[in-house]
Each structure stands twice: as structure tokens, then as C-alpha cells.
Amino acid sequence: MLTVSLLALAFLAQVQAQAPPCTQETAIDLTTEQLATASVDELISCMASAGGELSWDRTTGERIENPVCAEMRRRIAAGAALTNAQWQSALLVSGAIRYHARWPRNQEYRISLTVPYWLGLSQIRVHPHNPSMKSTEIGELMTSFDGTSALIDARDARWGRNLGTVPDGVTEIVLDVEVERGKSSDLLVAWGQSEPGPVPGVLWRGTIALPFEAVESLDEVAEPVNDEDLERAVRDAIGAGLRQWGDTAQPVPYVVVDPDCTRFPVLESTGLDLRVELIKGDKTIAETSLLAADFDKLALMSSTRTGSKRSYGSASFDIDPSSFDPRDCILRISGRSDHIGLLWEAKRRWSGTIDIPWTDAARHEQDQLGSQDERLEMSTPHWN
């Protein structure tokens, strides 16, 4: 079995740099005929992020599948044979397996797992070589009758699975990986609630090695950065307003972070782990945490952005809405690292501080919503 090492990853990056120009954004303009003649390596190079292959047309309500995903799904279902290197690339490039190359030595090591849509009904199993670490998995081998449980498990796996404590001196974490296709329930197929699907079985067994460096704290997981361009991108991501929330009779003030990775590509790899203070005069009257995350696919439906890389966060302020007067209020947004381990795309983190007048943030939010009255604010439930 082939192992992906640092050298192999560098070679993969070089191969992708030499491939025909194709990105997740430009791929959506390719025709079905063009995609059908593309090589597997070309498809992988412009593959949509696992978990982000589907979008919804806000006008028609129709579900839209990323065309590269559709072509890859067609080939996998038809029995296309990928090489070891192609499977490794597909799982890493798509983000089916995500990780941080740096991790605090005093915390259990975590990875993020997602079954890509192009795999269909499948399960990904991960077994660390080190006997002191734990195995984990995501996905199903049989169509579930309980869609809520499957949705919760998928959210939690994207959030992160614990693999245990990494022993001292380790510089790479070697994983045995199995990808197995499941079988649709005969009963659900008979009821017309599921497609029969391709023949079940193991699609790939191989080994992936993830680079690892132990650091002292979450501060060191992602490099802190700040500049004028990044501040402009963060400012564009912030919105605010009033909404009905819980049992309150009056609308409560809220704040959202909804990064536009298409307009500001730097945000694709910059983590936004934020502290938000609501300030009136010289006094902080409320504060909350805000995280631009992508692990909850239902929550992502609240985003107004259209790119294939999306993240979203929302929070209400704990304040008596009857006494809230937005006039002269400002939002103070500060970058931090408390939850950076949950932002799997973050190779760096914004560490600056900006002040945004409440009226500006509210106006920007209305511009983003357009004709919508409010954001959907859906989320995957948590079991108590």
C-alpha cells in the first residue's frame, strides 16, 4: 500500500500546479461533455469540498449538484478504478479527511471526517497505526430509517473525531483507511424511498500519513495574521439585526459571520474565531462568541453566499430586548484562537480587532438578505 508522506504531498501539489487551470468555481461552467472526457486527476483538482457538493437555488428551491461531483459519482458508481495515489488525493483534496498539522500536545488529537456525496451510501474507516490511538469511522453501510441520527453523526464527525493522545516524538500520524460502499435497504427501495445503488463492497484500502507537530496551545495551531485586506474581508463578513428568538416577545439583537470566499479568497484558509462585544458609549453591554464554521450543513443553509467554500456562524446577544437602543452602538470584533481547532480549513487565523457601527452592520445584513425577511437559522439538533 502506498503511503502519503510530506514528499508525496509536495509532489501532489506540483502535479496539480501543472494541471489545466481548474478551480471549484470555474468547474461549474464546464459542460457535461467536457467533464466526461476529463481525467480523474483533473476532476480531483477542481473537486468541490466534501459536504459542499449540493446547493439550493433560492429562487426555485431546486437542489443543484456540483457538476464535478456528479461526474465523479457517475464514474465511481460505474466501477472506475482509481489508483492508490488518486484515492489518497481525492480524500485529502476534497476534505473527506481534514486535519491540523499542528496540535496541542495536552489535547486528544482530532480529525474531521465527511463522506463525499460522490461516494454515495458509503463508510470511511480510519485506523491509526499507533496502538495507543483510537479508530473511528463515519457513514453507513445500510440506508438508515433514522435520518436525524445519521445527520447528527455526520455533523459530529465533521466537527471532529478524537483519535487519542499522540505519543511524544511523533512527526506524522499514519492511518490505515478503508472506503466501503453500502447497500440500499431493500424495503426502502421497494417503497420507492431509495435507489437500488451500485454493488456494495470495499472500494479502497490504503494508508495515509498526516504530518504532525506538537505545540503548546491552540494559539499555535494556525498562524495569527492581520492586514488591511483581511480586515476588509472580515468587515464584509459581519452582519447584525433584530430577530425573534426563543420565547422572547420582542426581537433580540443578533450578529452573524458569513464570509464571502468568492470575493475574498483569502478567507478560504483563514479561520474566523471571534469575540464580539456590543458597546454603547464606553461600556460593553453584552458580548458573545462567533465562529465561521462549516461542520453543520443545515446551518450553512443560512448563508447567503454562493461559492463552494462556505462557512457560517450566528449568535444572539443575552440582553433585555426592551431596553436595547441600537443608536450609537458599535460591534467590536476581535480574532482569537479558543475554537480554532474546529476550523479545519484554517491554515492561519485572523488576529485583529475592528469596530463596526451597529447601523452599518445592520444595513449590510439587509443588503445580504435582499427580499428575504430573515435568515433560515436551521441547525442539526443535539441529543440531550
Average pLDDT value for the chain: 88
Q: Determine the pLDDT at residue 384.
A: 39
Question: Per-residue pLDDT for 372 more than 90?
Answer: no
Position 136 confidence tier, pLDDT thresholds 50, 70, 90: very high
Q: pLDDT (tens digit, 9 = 90+) per residue, 190-226? A: 666 556 678 899 999 999 999 999 999 999 999 999 9
Separation between Cα atoms, residue 42 and residue 50, nearest integer Å: 17
- Contacts of 360-364 with C-beta under 8 Å, sequence gap 24+, read 361/238, 361/239, 361/240, 361/255, 361/331, 362/239, 362/240, 362/241, 362/326, 364/236, 364/238, 364/239
The highest-level CATH class for domain 218-369 is: mainly beta
Q: What pLDDT shows up at residue 301? A: 87
Of 126, 98, 124, the residue nearest 181 (C-alpha): 124
Across residues 71-78, what is the average pLDDT? 94
pLDDT above 70 covers a percentage of the chain that reads 88
C-alpha neighbours within 13 Å on the C-beta side of residue 16: 18
Per-residue pLDDT of 299-336, as tens digits, reads 998 999 987 789 999 999 999 988 899 989 999 999 99
Instruction: List phi, psi (to 5°) of 28.
Output: -70, -15
Is the model more confident about 376 or about 316?
316
Backbone angles phi, psi at 16, to 5 degrees: -65, -35
Q: What is the mean pLDDT of residues 46-68?
A: 85
Question: Where are the chain's structural domains?
Answer: 3-215, 218-369
